[in-house]
């Protein structure tokens, strides 16, 4: 097993964190976590089942009573301390993240800062859960609106952002006065457990934040969604799994936030600044080796600038360095597992069979089956599977278009609606296109839209709810109105 050297070795924990304690390990029931670059086992982690999940829910229920009655200022100062501790331990947390997830260390450090920024933001918002007064409908009626925590929350989080997708849910939940049970991905549980170590050190009371580590996702998901104690489910992951969780949550009519799959269009109009568009394309496509829900999935380029854009895009990705995320200068790490490579490879083969032209890449490196070359496919068309599939890998198909009307129709021709991007300089067109795109987020002349201060989320089958920003607390609060007769 890999020996991981950290400045703060206690960040490495191998068992679930429930009711303020890391459970003692059951030597028989554990699952292994591997480094995607070397396949080396880096940890054996305690495997929770339904019993431990019930314990975590019960602990969160008890803790709720004292956590929700703290003032916003009290909760804020504890969250602030957690934020500071995360930044103090940024290097170690990034190392753990890269070892279990594979992304380049510099990107992992960026994720730790991004993740911490949600805690800082919601520590501030904790103080500002304002209500409302409404002029009464009768002379002797006074109407007030107050907001209260929804109660116990369950969060199911993905492997592509093992830190930030947890803090983006936990921070607003805790700020609002809720308690939470998190089930991290079985591929990346160590980052979640390290967050729990620092949460405890920051003074987050026992039972307020629980981490259930497991590879029995179906059974544990069933307990979380069917529990009548759990009042809300927040999930980030694929649309098919989101639909199952939604169905399972229906019987107890839970509040739900679903951050599901995307199929982002990236449109380059004829009046775009092509160099800037290429820069945005590289940033949005190859971040995390293409494994984010907001990565551009389909590049639509006006036919008059298609050749120029393609040539410059190819030249730019030749500069990317594929390899071990722990090595200096590497910009693209491995894909998460074999299944992901097979999926991407199948899409690339299908595209070439249907007339696509590989302009660069198109296969894994001979040295490592999980390292996929940054790839550009020219001459793409809507019959290809990748037109309607979330690629989740470093592959950029380029479609050429002629008119604004045509490209809007193509861009919206998908069941999902998370992120979208376009480049152009005509102001009227910018408004028209921004309003016509059926997406929750639109990047205009930028390929990077993720930030704590803006509402992240999608429409259509990309889900519901918003994370980050002033809107991010709403998902963890119930609105209650008081009608007072005087």
Residues engaged in binding ligand SIN (CB under 6 A): 160-161, 236, 259, 292-294, 450, 456
Instruction: Please tell me the distance from the alpha carbon of residue 155 to that of residue 142, in angstroms, as a whole number.
Output: 37
* 373 catalytic per annotation: no
Q: How many CA atoms lie within 13 A of 146 on its CB side?
A: 5
Residue 91 Cβ, how far from ligand SIN at the closest point, in Å? 21
Cα dihedral across residues 224, 217, 105, 279: positive or negative: negative
CA distances from 388 to 30, 341, 347, 427 (A): 37, 18, 10, 30
Residue found under tokens 């390899």 = 323
Instruction: Please tell me the distance from the alpha carbon of residue 299 to that of residue 388, in angstroms, as a whole number.
Output: 13
Token pair recorded at residue 95: 């190392």
Residue 281 Cβ, how far from ligand SIN at the closest point, in Å? 16
Token pair recorded at residue 428: 């009227």
Look at residues 265, 295, 262, 277 and name the one whose alpha carbon lies nearest to residue 408.
Answer: 265
Residue found under tokens 């709720």 = 64
Instruction: Please tell me the distance from the alpha carbon of residue 145 to that of residue 130, in angstroms, as a whole number.
Output: 9
CA distances from 245 to 24, 49, 87, 162, 234 (A): 30, 18, 33, 20, 10
Query: Which member of 100, 125, 259, 404 is catalytic?
Result: 259
According to DSSP, the β-strands at 463-464 and 152-156 are unpaired
Instruction: Please tell me the distance from the alpha carbon of residue 321 to that of residue 323, in angstroms, as a whole number.
Output: 7
* 295 catalytic per annotation: no
Contact yes or no for 180/174 (Cβ under 8 A):
yes
Cα dihedral across residues 35, 36, 37, 40: positive or negative: positive
Is residue 188 packed enough to be buried (19+ CB in 10 Å), middle (13-18) or exposed (0-12)? Answer: buried
CA distances from 44 to 29, 93, 338 (A): 9, 18, 20
Residue 56: its H or E element: helix 50-67
Instruction: Please tell me the distance from the alpha carbon of residue 395 to that of residue 392, in angstroms, as a whole number.
Output: 8
Spell out where 103-151 has E strands: 132-134, 141-149
Residue 196: its H or E element: helix 189-202
Is residue 68 packed enough to be buried (19+ CB in 10 Å), middle (13-18) or exposed (0-12)? Answer: middle
Residue 292 Cβ, how far from ligand SIN at the closest point, in Å? 4
DSSP string, 115-180: HHHHHHHHHHHGGG---EEE--SSTTEEEEEEEEE--EEEEE--SSSTTHHHHHHHHHHHHHT-EE
Please give the positions annotated as active site.
259, 293
């Amino acid at each position: 097993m890999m020996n991981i050297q950290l400045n703060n070795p206690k960040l490495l924990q191998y068992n679930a964190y429930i009711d303020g304690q890391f459970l003692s390990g059951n030597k028989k029931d554990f699952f292994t976590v591997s480094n995607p670059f070397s396949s080396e086992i880096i940890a054996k982690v305690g495997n929770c089942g339904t019993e431990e999940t019930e314990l975590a829910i019960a602990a969160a229920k008890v803790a709720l009573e004292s956590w929700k009655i703290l003032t916003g200022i009290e909760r804020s100062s504890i969250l602030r301390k957690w934020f500071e501790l995360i930044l103090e331990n940024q290097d170690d947390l990034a190392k753990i993240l890269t070892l279990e997830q594979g992304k380049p260390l510099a990107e992992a450090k960026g994720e730790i800062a991004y993740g911490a920024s949600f805690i800082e933001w919601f520590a501030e918002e904790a103080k500002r859960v304002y209500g409302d007064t409404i002029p009464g409908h009768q002379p002797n009626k006074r109407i007030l609106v107050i907001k209260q925590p929804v109660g116990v929350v369950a969060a199911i989080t993905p492997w592509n952002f093992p830190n930030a997708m947890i803090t983006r849910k936990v921070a607003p939940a805790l700020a609002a006065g809720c308690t939470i049970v998190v089930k991290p991905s079985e591929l990346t549980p160590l980052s979640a457990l390290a967050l729990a170590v620092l949460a405890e050190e920051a003074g987050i009371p026992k039972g307020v934040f629980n981490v259930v580590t497991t590879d029995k996702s179906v059974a544990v998901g069933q307990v979380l969604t069917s529990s009548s104690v759990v009042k809300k489910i927040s999930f980030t992951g694929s649309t098919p799994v989101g639909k199952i969780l939604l169905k399972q949550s229906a019987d107890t009519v839970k509040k739900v936030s679903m951050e599901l799959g995307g199929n982002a269009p990236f449109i380059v109009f004829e009046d775009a600044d092509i160099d800037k568009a290429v820069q945005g394309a590289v940033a949005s496509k190859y971040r995390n080796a293409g494994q984010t829900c907001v990565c551009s999935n389909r590049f639509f380029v006006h036919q008059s600038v298609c050749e120029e854009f393609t040539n410059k895009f190819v030249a730019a990705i030749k500069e990317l360095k594929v390899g071990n995320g722990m090595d200096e200068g590497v910009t693209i790490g491995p894909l998460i597992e074999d299944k992901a490579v097979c999926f991407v490879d199948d899409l690339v083969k299908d595209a070439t069979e249907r007339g696509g032209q590989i302009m660069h890449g198109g296969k894994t490196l001979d040295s490592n089956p999980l390292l996929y070359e940054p790839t550009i496919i020219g001459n793409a068309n809507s019959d290809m599977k990748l037109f309607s599939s979330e690629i989740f890998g470093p592959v950029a198909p380029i479609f050429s278009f002629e008119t604004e009307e045509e490209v809007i129709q193509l861009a919206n021709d998908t069941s999902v609606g998370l992120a979208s991007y376009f480049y152009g300089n005509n102001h009227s067109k910018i408004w028209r296109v921004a309003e016509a795109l059926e997406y929750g987020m639109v990047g205009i002349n930028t390929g990077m839209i993720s930030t704590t201060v803006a509402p992240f989320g999608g429409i259509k089958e990309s889900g519901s709810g918003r994370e980050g920003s002033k809107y991010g607390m709403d998902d963890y609060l119930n609105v209650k109105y008081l009608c007072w007769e005087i």
